[in-house]
Structure 1
Amino acid sequence: MRKHIPNWCFGQTEHGGHMAALTHPELMNPLIERALDASCTIASLVHLTYSRILT
């Protein structure tokens, strides 16, 4: 996936499984929060850039 979607945030943990967000929230929540923070930052930059183009 990294090859096809390079702007995504990726995290990895040694424990978890396919339901890690439910079974190990102490491991997954920080990774999810980091990904969401990065997405918000990217969205803000895109918005600012787009706004400058329009003005």
Structure 2
Amino acid sequence: MEDKSMTGTLYLFSGFSITWIILFIYLFSMVKRQKSLEIQIEKISSKLEKVQNR
């Protein structure tokens, strides 16, 4: 009976760990995308200012 309990606990821990790893990978990719978008917005804004100042 104890073997089944340990196996269930192992599966629970594994699932919990995998879920957190996937969450952190997703959050890391979102942060990278946001930084990339901020850089693109800054470039577009500076180009727009140059065009408007002509």
TM norm structure 1: 0.55
What runs of 5+ residues in structure 2 fail to find an aligned partner?
1-17, 50-54
Which contiguous aligned blocks of 4+ residues in structure 1 show a shift greater than 3 angstroms?
none
Question: Of the two, which has the highest radius of gyration?
Answer: 2
The structure with the greater share of residues assigned to helix is 2
What runs of 5+ residues in structure 1 fail to find an aligned partner?
1-23
Using CA pairs below 8 Å that are at least 6 residues apart, which structure has the higher relative contact order?
Answer: 1
Give the paired residue count: 32
Identity %, equivalent residues: 6
TM norm structure 2: 0.56
